[in-house]
Amino acid sequence: MYDAVERNVRGTWLLFAVFVLVIVALGYAFSRLLDLGYAGVAIAGVLALAGAWGSYYYSDRLVLAISGAREASRDQHPHLHNAVEGLAIAAGIPVPRVYLIDDTAPNAFATGRDPQHAAVVVTTGLLDKLDRLELEGVLAHEMSHVKNYDVRLATVASVLVGMVILLSDMFQRSMFWGRRRGSREGGGGSGLVVLVGLALAVLAPLFAQLLRLAISRNREYLADSSAAMLTRYPEGLASALEKISADPEPLEVANKATSHMYIINPLREWGGYANSLFNTHPPVEERVRRLRAR
């Protein structure tokens, strides 16, 4: 388990480095296309560093805001707070903040940059539709994400992938304008640079998404295993996963930016090997099978 935590910490810094390099490379291609010199590279570098810094310190607040989460009152939900506190003690981490999303669809996620600055979020539907042991299994899963630093890795990856996609879109939209300007003024960068830049702009978002999704899938298996160790009752989480995945009600606040953070992706995912590369979570059936085989 400690090895997994160390891998996540190293993985976070590796993500920072990879995405900064990709963004700077896009900035260089952008500069050559529009004849901006090194100014474009400098702007891209500043944006990359600012994005990395912002994603580290403020991404959890952004995720909570766009998810419509509100802090859960201890007076109204004492059983929820008691369960989170008990699991935090068992996991040996500080007690995270507890938030609620007013939605009848059962689901949950965790966010934050480390165990000292973490939050666990559940929907009201989760509280209504799961029994005590199932709820503890879900909370243990999310607490495991906090303990293993999965939340930092997932949240940072989400923000940085968004930056890569935004810059790639800007690059592609500027292609036409840059080529027109180059034809009038004899500039616009060499054809090879433009071609390489276009390829990077097209492939970088795909690579970034695949990297983010692969990280998310691997972390789910580890969190399931850690949750079973925390509760000493794997069946609770297994039953909860089946109930959540079978629930027909859609999660109204679901979106592509945060869907990978939930215990079950609230957006539809597809089967088959090729499609599974783009899924944020491993198959529920396989997760349940592994839990019941413990």
pLDDT, tens only, 87-116:
999 999 999 999 999 999 999 999 988 899
| Residue 5 pLDDT greater than 60, yes or no | no
Q: Which of 105, 94, 160, 148 is nearest to 130 (CA)?
A: 105
Query: What pLDDT score does 234 carry?
Result: 96
- CA atoms of 62 and 227, how far apart (whole Å): 26
Distances (CA, A) of 92 to 84, 148, 230: 12, 12, 10
The most distant pair of C-alpha atoms in the chain lies apart, rounded to whole Å, by 71
Percent of the chain with pLDDT over 90: 41
pLDDT beyond 70 at 187: no
Confidence check: pLDDT of 179 > 60: no
Domain spans of the chain? 2-292
Are the beta carbons of 154 and 142 closer than 8 angstroms?
no
Q: Which residues contact 234 (CB under 8 A, 6 or more apart)?
A: 137, 228, 291, 292, 294
pLDDT of 209-229, one tens digit each? 666 666 666 788 889 999 999
Q: Measured in whole angstroms, how far is the alpha carbon of residue 90 from the centre of its chain?
A: 25
Flag whether the pTM goes above 0.85.
no
Residue 8 reports pLDDT greater than 70 = no
Q: Report pLDDT for 189.
A: 47
Catalytic residues, which ones? Answer: 142
